[in-house]
Amino acid sequence: MIVAAILGIALLQARAQSTPTANESLWQLHDDFVSSTDRADQIRILSEISKMKPQSSRDLDDLFDLFARYPQSETRAAAVASINRIGPDDYAFAPLLRDYLSQPDPKTQFFAILAELRLRDPKALPLIEQLAGQKFALKSAGNTPFSGQRDAWWTQYEALDALAAWKGESAFKLVKKQALAAPDVARILAARFWPKALPLFTDWANSDRRNRRNAAHQGLSADVPVANLRPTRAAMLKLVLDSGEPADVRHFLAIKVGLCSDDAQVADLIQRRQKTADAQTKLYLLGAIFASRSPKAVPLLENDLKTNPDPAARRGALIELKEIASPADFRTLALWTAQNDADASLRDFAQEQVSASSATAAAAAPAVESSSQTAPNQAAKPSASTQ
């Protein structure tokens, strides 16, 4: 018995240390992950799983097991990446996914909705519509300490998002109705219907009803594809410049204006900021300029870094500069801050940035030296990057 136990442990350890291969099926990789006790090995297995498409009902069941049993973000991301490889031709999964949708467990339904968005089984659509159309038990998932209630809330949210992606404009009315019941749902309106939702959000933001103002806040602050923002840039900028609009409308729309601005439009924003006398409008335009991540913003950020009386704003300017300034220029500005800023914590932060940039430069130096010794007639090695 003892010998058998030792052999069993040795087998599990060997399996945990093995690297997944392309010959392993998805369900085998699932079993490898479950039996492994080494986190690095598990990460390698999850990487393999994320690249594989489920081929059988067992594969799908095992993906659900990973999704439901392991709440860690890496595990769920791998399971979702795998089911995202399902397409409309994989109709063999339809009965199993409809069975998942019919289960009372919210996590099971949630997983099925993700897969159905790829499969688009017409027979599953009524089940998703039923989930999406239910009355929200809570205004927000954060309003309860119970995980089961949170799971149910997020499953209904996911059903609404899937419906918006699946049915398009015909789902707008329901999503709008549910956003007034659960303000976070307005994020779906923003992500899926931005041009149509923008006037709605600005109307709600000026309402005397709290639920409408909350929904407007969620919608205006939501991430929106830049391609969806561009057609509304002029309308958004007009609202940013309107001193009669609520502060959060002007703030969030200024960021979105910046995100969808090209270089010429950033130059126009800079000119507008120089000409305006209103301090608040100047501030919103500055936010738009910074959000653009355009090199044209560097002089303004440098001025903010050196003259803004607020240490948090100066730190923010330094962080922004790291994103858009050249490495040499950023190092110069970080060094100036480390030596001259009045705030001790910001000086320390700036010195950390200087040290990090020095370490990066030192690490890159051998590669530069090595490349200079390449034979003159040696062809450059092709990049291994994928599309």
Digit-coded pLDDT (tens) for 267-309: 999 999 999 999 899 989 999 999 999 999 999 889 989 999 9
Count of C-beta atoms within a 10 Å radius of residue 176: 18
pLDDT confidence of residue 364:
56
pLDDT confidence of residue 365:
55
> Would the pLDDT of 377 be above 60?
no
DSSP 260: T
Lookup: tokens for 298: 């560097």
Q: Which amino acid is at 301?
A: L
pLDDT confidence of residue 69:
93
pLDDT confidence of residue 357:
80
- The C-alpha angle 27, 29, 34, rounded to 5 degrees, equals 95
Digit-coded pLDDT (tens) for 92-138: 999 999 999 999 999 999 999 999 999 999 999 999 999 999 999 99
Mean pLDDT for the chain overall: 87
The average pLDDT across 218-235 equals 97
**46 pLDDT tier (thresholds 50, 70, 90):** very high
> Would the pLDDT of 373 be above 90?
no
**316 pLDDT tier (thresholds 50, 70, 90):** confident
CB distance 75 to 44 below 8 Å: no
The average pLDDT across 247-268 equals 96
> Would the pLDDT of 90 be above 70?
yes
**362 pLDDT tier (thresholds 50, 70, 90):** low
CA 250 to chain centre: 23
Identify which has the larger pLDDT, 379 or 353: 353
C-alpha to C-alpha distance for 116 and 113, rounded to whole angstroms: 5
Count of C-beta atoms within a 10 Å radius of residue 283: 13
CB distance 299 to 269 below 8 Å: no
CA 176 to chain centre: 23
**189 pLDDT tier (thresholds 50, 70, 90):** very high
Q: Which amino acid is at 130?
A: Q
> Would the pLDDT of 184 be above 70?
yes
DSSP 169: G
Identify which has the larger pLDDT, 185 or 3: 185
pLDDT confidence of residue 2:
37
pLDDT confidence of residue 266:
96
CB distance 254 to 287 below 8 Å: yes
The average pLDDT across 318-329 equals 90
Digit-coded pLDDT (tens) for 130-180: 999 999 999 999 999 999 999 999 999 999 999 999 999 999 999 999 999
pLDDT confidence of residue 313:
85
211-237 burial code (b ≥16 CB/10 A, e <16):
ebbbbbbbbbbbebeeebbeebbeebb
Q: Which of these ranges, 4-13, 146-155, 213-222, 273-282, has the smallest mean pLDDT? A: 4-13
